[in-house]
Amino acid sequence: MNDNDLRRKIIEHKALSSFQRRVYLALIDIPRGETITYGELARRIGCRSAQAVGQALKRNPFAPEVPCHRVVSADGSLGGYNGQREGAELERKRCLLEAEKSSK
């Protein structure tokens, strides 16, 4: 699916809040193999809460096509993935990032 199709899918999704739409649309602009912090993503969309961004990412119905795995904590650690801060989901995030970096 290309970025335009993905944008349309996000915009047309009926169950998303306008805040979630802004977060997910901004994620599409993060290049493969690169990361951004929750705080920086919040700033890019005009929000002052990295935690609010994290909550939107936790509910991302489009993962991994809408790449919430590219968002990391301010200290450079992975943070969480699918609402989990350890275990299989965090390992999945690590694998997705490593695969993108190795295919760059």
Inform me whether the pLDDT recorded for 50 exceeds 80.
yes
pLDDT of residue 66: 96
Identify the bridge partners of residue 72 per DSSP, sorted by sequence position.
37
Give the pLDDT confidence score for residue 81 in this predicted structure.
86
What's the CA gap between 4 and 36, in Å, rounded?
21
Asked if residue 104 has pLDDT above 80, the reply is no
Domains and CATH numbers, the chain: 3-102 (1.10.10.10)
Q: Which residues are catalytic?
A: 68
% of the chain surpassing 70 pLDDT: 99
Please state the pTM of the whole predicted model.
0.91
Mean pLDDT for all residues in the chain: 94
| Separation in Å, CA 45 to CA 59, 87, 92 | 17, 30, 26
- At residue 91, the pLDDT reads 93
